Amino acid sequence: MFETLTDRFDGILTRLRSRGRLGDAEVNEVLREIRVALLEADVNLNVVRDLVERIRARCSGAQLSKSLTPAQQVIKVVNEELTSTLGGDPLKIHYASRPPTVVLLAGLQGSGKTTAAAKLARWFKQQGRQPLLVAADLQRPAAVEQLRVLGLDVGVTVFSEPSDPVRVARQGVAEAERLGRDVVIVDTAGRLAIDDALMAEMKAISEAVKPDYTFFVVDAMTGQDAVQTAEAFNDALALDGVILTKVDGDARGGAALSVKQVVGKPIAFVSTGERTADFETFYPDRLASRILGMGDVLSLIEKAEREYDSGVAEKATERLMKGQFSLEDFLEQLQQIKRMGPLQGMLGMLPGVPKDFRDAKIDDKDVGRVEAIIKSMTPGERRGVTVIDGSRRLRIARGSGTSTTEVNNLLRQFKEMQKMVRSMGPVNRLVNGAKQKPSKGKQKGSRFTPSSRGAG
């Protein structure tokens, strides 16, 4: 088993020392998977095409990453592209010099406009403003009543009258002026983009109130149609931003990417629940990784960077290679690794880990036992200074609640592991680059023969 292990370590080493470039075949293979992932996330087909081409151009011939597999490297680029498409300059509300600042909401039926209106009102209040809500949806039964109830909930007055939407909107703004309110939020009826009459009405409302901000309210579970609808609304109204709703579900939210691409305006807010408090500013990186659906890969790499002290890791690896890696070092590393999450899942994510190991089953109990055994040792025993004789083994076994057999096994395997790693002598040079002198004379029977490994 250890023989094959040595062979397999080559994979890691090859990667570590490789100066190669990302091959098109690898990129294409990953992009095929990415395409599927994005389509399953409801990103519009044409947006996916554009995105995939941009990524292909970016990755083609790029320098191979030393720490990521080619697949992970491409995924990282995709994530960055998604994040930058979704992000860009965030929306900053510039209040009108002559109040009130008028905010108009538009969107399809059921997208969550009325609830969003109340949430926005609450948000403006938190910003120290005095908003007025205008219920201009006279189409949906009890829509006005709904906004009134929500208005009570957030402590904001609601204006409406039983006339027509354009008039209500206009009167609403006048009322806001009369009451000295500095923000007015106009809720409108949901409407289909292809309904000419209702789209004309929407334009009329917009012309009547001359909004400072027109927000397009979109349901996070919207599918491919998001593009057509967004385009139509944008053509009619010149949108200023997007509010994404029902984000607390498990829809991947690809529609947001499509809409952002089409409208080119910021996603200003996300609605994350049914309560009026469930309203947040938008964080593009979170939605990006959700759309891509490969969050664990990214978060693990991130976590590894953040939590695994790289200086300690380098030193530990040095000592590991030189055969100076003690049980104390091992324990330290084990505990660091544990902080990053279950070992089981981690193996699958790390670059360079051979397939056999990725699929290996680790029982956290075993890890616990190993830890307990080492912890029951004295510092001297851990550092390999004190020879662990029979009576010490017995003591350790008792102290850790294990058996002397297990203690024996651990010590024996640890030695084996040290020997095997040490036999990969040339790695010292590779891992540490120019600053480390190659280790002396420890290259007995190394199965690592670079020349036989093919192009790297």
Partner 1 sequence: MVLVIVLVAVVVLALAGVGLVASTRSRRRRSGGTAPAAVARPGGLAVPTPTGQVPAEAALEPEAIAERPALRDRLGKARQLLGGYLDGIRGRAFDAATFDELEEALLLADAGVATTTRVLDDLRAKVRSGEVEQTPDALLAALRADLEAMFEGDEPALAFGEQDRPTVWLFVGVNGVGKTTTIGKVAARERAEGHKVVLAAGDTFRAAAGEQLETWAERAGVTLIRGSDGADPSSVIFDAVAHAAARGTDLVLADTAGRLHTKVNLMEELRKVRRVAERPPGQLTEVLLVLDATTGQNGLAQAKQFTEAVGVTGIVLTKLDGTAKGGVVLAIRSELGLPIKLVGVGEGVGDLVDFDPAEFVAALFG
The Cα 208–Cα 406 span in angstroms is 81
**Which lies closer to partner 1 via its Cβ, residue 49 or residue 210?**
49
Helix (H/G/I), strand (E/B), else coil: 55: helix
Of 94-102, 200-208, 245-253, 379-387, which part binds partner 1 (CB under 8 A)? Answer: 245-253
- Residue 235 binds partner 1 (CB under 8 A): no
The Cα 334–Cα 356 span in angstroms is 20
Residues 427-446 interacting with partner 1 (rule: CB under 8 A): 431
- Residue 422 binds partner 1 (CB under 8 A): no
**Which lies closer to partner 1 via its Cβ, residue 30 or residue 183?**
30
Of 167-175, 381-389, 408-416, 444-452, which part binds partner 1 (CB under 8 A)? Answer: 408-416
Residues 6+ positions from 169 with CB-CB distance below 8 Å = 104, 134, 136, 186, 188, 205, 208, 209
CA 442 to chain centre: 44
Residues 292-321 interacting with partner 1 (rule: CB under 8 A): 292-297, 299, 301-302, 304-305, 308-311, 313-314, 316-317, 320
The Cα 172–Cα 185 span in angstroms is 9
**Which lies closer to partner 1 via its Cβ, residue 390 or residue 454?**
454
Written as six digits, the tokens of 397 are: 């076994």
Residue from 96, 204, 343, 372 touching partner 1 (CB under 8 A): that is: 343
Residue from 58, 65, 322, 429 touching partner 1 (CB under 8 A): that is: 65
Residues 68-107 interacting with partner 1 (rule: CB under 8 A): 69-72, 75, 80, 83-84, 87-90, 92
- Residue 366: Cβ within 10 Å count: 12
The Cα 271–Cα 294 span in angstroms is 23
**Which lies closer to partner 1 via its Cβ, residue 177 or residue 438?**
438
- Residue 326 binds partner 1 (CB under 8 A): no
- Residue 251 binds partner 1 (CB under 8 A): yes
CA 331 to chain centre: 31
**Which lies closer to partner 1 via its Cβ, residue 110 or residue 379?**
110
Residues 171-200 interacting with partner 1 (rule: CB under 8 A): 192-194
Q: How many residues bind partner 1 (CB under 8 A)?
A: 157
Of 142-150, 174-182, 206-214, 438-446, which part binds partner 1 (CB under 8 A)? Answer: 142-150
- Residue 394 binds partner 1 (CB under 8 A): no
User: What dihedral angle (degrees, nearest 10) is formed by the CA atoms of 343, 349, 355, 358?
Assistant: 20
The Cα 230–Cα 146 span in angstroms is 26
- Residue 4 binds partner 1 (CB under 8 A): no
Q: For residues 218 and 255, is the Cβ–Cβ distance under 8 A? A: yes
- Residue 251: Cβ within 10 Å count: 19
